[in-house]
């Protein structure tokens, strides 16, 4: 999900002051516990300012003001979503009474943020719903890397089924019975490398539309990288990559997959 302008401030006092200078925010995500001024008090200040402000022309580009100590609308009423890590019974009611509009408990997922934005900002579509029980085919010849990715995927996507293959030949043998929703493949592998495997997938009608993410230690200017791009992959992850980059790439690919169904 992408937005034209995202602003981040460290505390509630800065949030209230920033809102006075620019009341064209479309939505505010407000942490409850922050230095200088907490989320409830900051919300009160923003609501007071709204009652004194005259409505101005609606901004065409949605703006998200994300407020977190860790980390709509026109000036009439800006939706404020509370963020908290220590949810207690009755907290939601306290937030609503303070002038907030909704409530998210940490840890939350990017899909939760997207749903809140879609709920409170008209014209913003919700992210496509990706079934939890997706099937992922991981093609990687290096055992240590393969096991590391398996652990990551099973931790972040516990209901997904992960099938593995040591090279392109093994992967082609698994495709028919497994029918993955997404393929992750290394480029340099024995017997059949990543580019050759991708070409096989793309020319076979049953799998041709399957989204593919490539992984490699090669430099982006290497001819083998260009080869697999031309073969038809959606994205390339360059090793060593961060776990977050892998998870984000997988989820983005799956979302794109289901948004076209």
Domain 135-256 has CATH 3.40.50.150: no
Residue 137: predicted pLDDT: 98
What pLDDT is recorded for position 261? Answer: 45
Tokens 């989820």 locate to 251
Residue 21 tokens, joined: 């200078």
Report the chain (261 residues): mean pLDDT per 10 consecutive residues: 75 89 83 92 90 57 53 63 83 90 86 84 60 89 96 91 96 94 97 96 94 96 96 94 90 74 45
CATH 3.40.50.2300 is right for the domain spanning 12-122: yes
pLDDT of res. 50: 81
Confidence (pTM)? 0.56
Q: Give the per-residue pLDDT at 198.
A: 97
E strand or H helix at 253: helix 243-259
Q: List, by residue range, all CATH 3.40.50.2300 domains of the chain.
A: 12-122, 135-256
Residue 19, exposed/middle/buried by CB under 10 A (0-12, 13-18, 19+)?
buried
């Amino acid at each position: 999900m992408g937005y034209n302008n995202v602003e981040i401030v460290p505390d509630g006092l800065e949030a209230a002051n920033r809102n006075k200078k620019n009341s064209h925010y479309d939505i505010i995500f407000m942490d409850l516990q922050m230095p200088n001024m907490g989320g409830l008090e900051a919300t009160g200040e923003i609501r007071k300012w709204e009652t004194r402000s005259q409505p101005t022309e609606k901004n065409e580009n949605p703006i998200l003001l994300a407020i977190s100590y860790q980390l709509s609308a026109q000036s009439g009423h800006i939706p404020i979503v509370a963020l908290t890590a220590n949810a207690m019974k009755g907290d939601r009611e306290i937030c609503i009474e303070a002038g907030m509009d909704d409530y998210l408990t940490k840890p939350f997922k990017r899909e939760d943020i997207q749903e809140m934005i879609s709920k409170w900002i008209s014209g913003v579509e919700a992210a496509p719903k990706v079934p939890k029980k997706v099937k992922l085919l991981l093609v990687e010849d290096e055992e240590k890397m393969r096991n590391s990715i398996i652990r990551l995927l099973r931790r972040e996507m516990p209901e997904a089924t992960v099938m593995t293959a040591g090279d392109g030949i093994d992967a082609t043998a698994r495709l028919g019975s497994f029918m993955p929703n997404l393929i992750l493949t290394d480029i340099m592998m024995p017997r059949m490398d990543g580019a050759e495997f991708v070409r096989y997938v793309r020319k076979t009608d049953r799998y041709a539309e399957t989204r593919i993410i490539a992984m490699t230690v090669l430099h982006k200017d290497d001819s083998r990288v260009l080869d697999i791009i031309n073969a038809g992959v959606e994205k390339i992850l360059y090793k060593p990559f961060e776990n977050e980059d892998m998870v984000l790439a997988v989820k983005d690919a799956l979302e794109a997959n289901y948004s076209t169904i």
